Amino acid sequence: MRKIIYSAVLALVLLGCTETRCPQDVLMRHEDEIDAIIAQMTLEEKVQMLHSKTIMSSEGVPRLGIQDIKYADGPFGVREEVGDGFRPLGWQMDSATYFPTGSALAATWSPELAYSYGNGIGQEARRRGKDVMLGPAINIQRLPVGGRSYEYLSEDPFLSARLAVGYVKGMQDAGTAACIKHFALNNQETNRGSVNVIADERTMREIYLKPFEAAVREGGAMCVMPAYNKVNGDYCSENEHLLNEILRDEWGFKGMTVSDWGGTHSTMGAALHGLNVQMTGDNYLGRPVIDSIATGALTEDIVDAKVREILRLRLAVRPVPEDEANKVQASQPETRAIARTVAEKSIVLLQNNGILPLSPDIRKIAVIGRNADAFTASGGMGAGVKTPYEITPLAGIRKRAPEGVEVDYAPAYKNYLGMFARWTGQTGPDVAVALDEPADPAMLEEALALAREADVVLYFCGTNKTIESEGMDRTDIKLPVGQDAIAYALAAANPNLVTVVISGGPCELASVTECSAALLQGWWNGLEGGTALAEVLFGDIAPSGKLPFSIPFKLQDSPAYALHNFPPEEEAEEDLFGAKYRKDIVGQRGPRMPRYKQTSEYTEGLLVGYRWFDTKFIPVLYPFGYGLSYVDFEYSDIKVSAGQFEMDDRIKVSFTVRNCGNMDAEEVAQLYVGRPEAKIEWPAKELKAFQRVSLKAGESRRVTLSVPVEDLRYWDVEKNGWAVEGGRLDILVGSSSKDIRLNCFVSLIGLK
């Protein structure tokens, strides 16, 4: 059932599609040419386009000079060339810039930087001859343990949406199509190939679909990747509601959909319910399509419509001639500079007793912890990048430390490689066999000896890309391999302990908070990550990242855990897409994996991340949006453009932010709304606007944030459309979701 919903049409008008150009229109410029092409094609040629040709390409129309479409992962750099089964081909010219991973990009809270980031990857994709980048990955970080949290952006749909739009626009302005993934509700890796996500319509619309909607409508994304999982009963690759009713009919998507690799499940389902290209294989959208037309089960019109949507992308993206691709290194100084800027603005200062920035009097630094010296560009399954180089934190510190300062290093804890250790033959005394293995006494003693002698200890803890990986979720978010105990021991040896957490998703940090003089979230921060970190530590720049997710005291506080929606119960058989099972990833078939309960119920509804913690009064260690600097910022003098607003209006809120310190710094001012008198259920507060503000030492600046009333709508389930609830709206402005400095209220006129 395809419905054009009144409010969706209204929203299109509001987005400016009738007055100005609609971003999807770039796909509609060649309709006559496409008519002519389709008219000349045989059915066989058409069906060739509906499935993979190689693991990273799909067929054009060679007889008519239409090139194949070339894809590459994504999402934080162009992946190296792979052969069948994802085995690297070992080329010389296929390296690319390793950009900071998703949550690091999100910690910049900068749509402008997301634009540059997408643009940089898009430029490199062109140099590598790629038409479609498989990214950005914009699912909501629903679970702190999520294996792909590091690829995804945030627990918040508004922040994710703003960054997704920037990324997609930047990439497509570089001439490369963005394939937003994984549509939709792919929020867990456990059982991802078969899990049936049960979520109510309001939750889907207001939380999980928001970043996708913005990326399509505002960003003009040309390609969408349906996810592996099912949503409310149907696989995403054949989900009428998601692909036809919402994506195409409501959002006006004009481009093509490409199933996640191995995520196509039937000929009729895919053909009738919105899939354009089966990736990979042709067992569903190959010969069986021709047979189904012969029997009358399908019509050629359906195939023509799919071919049209594919050709729209093909003709909108210039094919790179074979003899132009891979002739120069994709990674160039300009694109690497973008990666560095993102890294510089992503680092989050969680606590500081004044030890940072490091004093110029320091003579001896002990860098402790294997993560200081670990390369992070590859691993984690699909999303790795073959980077031309990678400045680790240790290398960055060594390079930046002033002349005469001694920098010593000890790994302190073992390397956890999980199942990869056995399969790749990497075993030995410095490889941990279990995540909760205690610290090795000899390694600890070596670290403590350095710590005792040093003026300051820089301790690098966190996870790695075996612990956080596509294909599996973490079992907990504790610091692994004895890292908590090591932190306490280091603090006892030397109180000048600065701890840096290197991870993509949140970790439990109560222990390191307690014993560290300063604490930073350092991310997997791209090929210049170590340079950026050293700049922050030595005070060349002030830290300005803000958490894109909440860091709870403990995992069990988080919504899906508290409500026992996750982890799922185990059942008898294995899941097909789990990392362990993938011969192409691990070189051999892994042991049978448990199969989990087939449904994942999102009964927490809208209460994801801080929406849950705030609404349920559950304290967190570090809240969403939090991050300190080396200066303090003062907020004052809030003004709002009017007292009452209705649909079509924009609420303009202005205030002054002052840098009270003696160095230049940047602050991310955040605007949340609350609805104390609401009749329907709302989270306690929701992010609705933000701005990164750059302020010289002592400078004040007036900031104006604008909230369109349409962004304040809710999904009215009875009406099956968007509506505005009238009444009082609290406007809360501050430095994090918990640190609200200014407030005022306005009233909204309702609209059903």
Residue 396 makes contact with ligand BGC by CB under 6 A:
no
DSSP string of 372-389, one letter each residue = GG---SS-SSTT----S-
Would you say 482 and 525 are in contact if contact means Cβ atoms under 8 Å apart? no
Tell me the C-alpha distance between 601 and 24, whole Å. Answer: 33
Helix (H) or strand (E) holding 513: helix 510-515
> Shortest gap between Cβ of 227 and ligand BGC (angstroms)?
8
* DSSP code for 650: E
Residue 192 or residue 345: which is nearer to ligand BGC going by CB?
192
CA torsion sign, 580 to 584 to 585 to 589?
Answer: positive
Binding status of residue 575 toward ligand BGC by CB under 6 A: no
**Binding-site member from 68, 189, 260, 604 for ligand BGC (CB under 6 A):** 260
**In terms of DSSP bridges, do strands 665-674 and 686-695 run parallel, antiparallel, or are they unpaired?**
antiparallel
Angle at 376 between CA 339 and CA 460, to 5 degrees: 100
| Distance in Å, CB of 325 to ligand BGC, minimum | 19
**Which residue lies nearer to ligand BGC by CB, 260 or 710?**
260
CB of 585: closest distance to ligand BGC in angstroms?
9
Interaction pattern, residues 329-368, with ligand BGC; x per rule: CB under 6 A = ----------------------------------------
Least distance in Å: CB of 486 to ligand BGC? 34
H or E segment at 638? strand 633-640
Name the minimum Å distance from CB 132 to ligand BGC.
10
Q: Which is nearer to ligand BGC, 380 or 567 (CB)?
A: 380
Catalytic entry in 260, 473, 614, 716: 260
The size of the interface with ligand BGC (CB under 6 A), counted in residues, is 7
Residue number with CB closer to ligand BGC (179 or 439)? 179
Task: Please give the residues from 369 up to 388 whose contact with ligand BGC meets the rule CB under 6 A.
Answer: 382
**Shortest CB 464 distance to ligand BGC, Å:** 20
By the 8 A CB rule, do 53 and 68 touch?
yes
Concatenate the DSSP letters of all residues of 414-425 into one string: PEE-HHHHHHTT
C-alpha 236/C-alpha 275 separation (Å) is 9
What is the phi/psi pair of residue 680, to 5°?
-95, 170
Distance CA 217, CA 717 (A): 22
Of residues 5 and 55, the one with the C-beta less far from ligand BGC: 55
Distance of closest approach, residue 383 Cβ to ligand BGC, in angstroms: 7
| Residue 406 C-beta: closest distance to ligand BGC, Å | 44
181 binds ligand BGC (CB under 6 A): yes
Q: Active-site residue 739, yes or no?
A: no
Contact call for residues 389 and 527 (beta carbons, < 8 A): yes
Would you say 156 or 260 has its CB closer to ligand BGC?
260
Rounded least distance, CB 697 to ligand BGC, Å: 44
Q: If 0-12 CB within 10 Å is exposed, 13-18 middle and 19+ buried, where does residue 745 land?
A: middle
Spatial distance between the Cα atoms of 247 and 251, rounded to a whole number of angstroms: 5
CB 420 → ligand BGC: shortest distance, Å? 17
Kindly tell me which of 181 and 205 has the beta carbon lying closer to ligand BGC. 181
Q: Under the criterion CB under 6 A, does residue 73 sit at the interface with ligand BGC? A: yes
- Eight-class DSSP state of 149: T
Establish if 261 lies at the interface with ligand BGC (CB under 6 A): yes
Residue among 534, 525, 543 at smallest CA distance from 462? 525
Q: What is residue 510's three-state secondary structure?
A: helix
Q: What is the four-CA torsion angle of 427, 433, 438, 444, rounded to 10 degrees?
A: 10
Burial class (CB in 10 A: 0-12, 13-18, 19+), 658: middle
* Residue 134 binds ligand BGC, judged by CB under 6 A: yes
Rank residues 279 and 461 by Cβ distance to ligand BGC and give the closer one: 279
Q: Is residue 238 close enough to count as binding ligand BGC by CB under 6 A?
A: no
Query: For residue 29, what are its two tokens?
Result: 């410029």
Cα atoms in the 13 Å half-sphere on the side-chain side of 693: 27
Does 94 bind ligand BGC (CB under 6 A)? Our answer is: no
- Closer to ligand BGC by Cβ: residue 85 or 750: 85
User: Per CB under 6 A, does 473 bind ligand BGC?
Assistant: no
Q: Using CA atoms, how far apart are residues 360 and 353, in angstroms rounded to an integer?
A: 17
Looking at 672-741, list the stretches that DSSP marks H as alpha helix, in order from N- to C-terminal side.
Answer: none
Encode 193-247 in three state secondary structure: CCCEEECCHHHHHHHHCHHHHHHHHCCCCCEEEECCCEECCEEHHHCHHHHHHHH
Cβ closest to ligand BGC, residue 213 vs residue 260: 260
Q: Which residues are catalytic?
A: 260
- Contacts with ligand BGC, residue ranges (CB under 6 A): 73-74, 134, 181, 260-261, 382
